């Protein structure tokens, strides 16, 4: 999945600065639902990553059953938090 495709699908734009709070809330909720339904591991990780970048990610243990996927998700969260100064 391409980031632009995810942004268009869930927020209607690829311009992050133009996403309104209501569009962000609605897109985030739809993405969380789709994440729960998605079976492809790569697509699930891509959606979870975008949610994490928006501080809306579901719990790692609930989302990923594979330990390697959980470790990758934890590593990504560390990077996201570091980039945000936290």
**pTM for the whole structure:** 0.88
- Rounded to the nearest 10°, the torsion over CA 15, 20, 21, 22 is -120
Q: Are 52 and 76 in contact (CB under 8 A)?
A: yes
Q: What pLDDT, in 10s, does the model give residues 24-81?
A: 999 999 999 999 999 999 999 999 999 998 889 999 999 999 999 999 999 999 998 8
- Checking if the pLDDT of 8 tops 80, the result is yes
How do the domains of the chain map onto residue ranges?
3-83
Coil/strand/helix, residue 34 = helix
């Amino acid at each position: 999945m391409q980031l632009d495709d995810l942004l268009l699908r869930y927020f209607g734009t690829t311009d992050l600065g133009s996403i309104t709070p209501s569009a962000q809330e609605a897109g985030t909720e739809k993405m969380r639902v789709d994440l729960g339904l998605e079976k492809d591991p790569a697509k699930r990780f891509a959606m979870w990553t975008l949610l994490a970048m928006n501080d809306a990610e579901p719990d790692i243990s609930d989302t990923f059953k594979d330990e390697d996927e959980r470790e990758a998700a934890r590593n990504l969260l560390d990077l996201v938090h570091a980039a945000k100064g936290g």
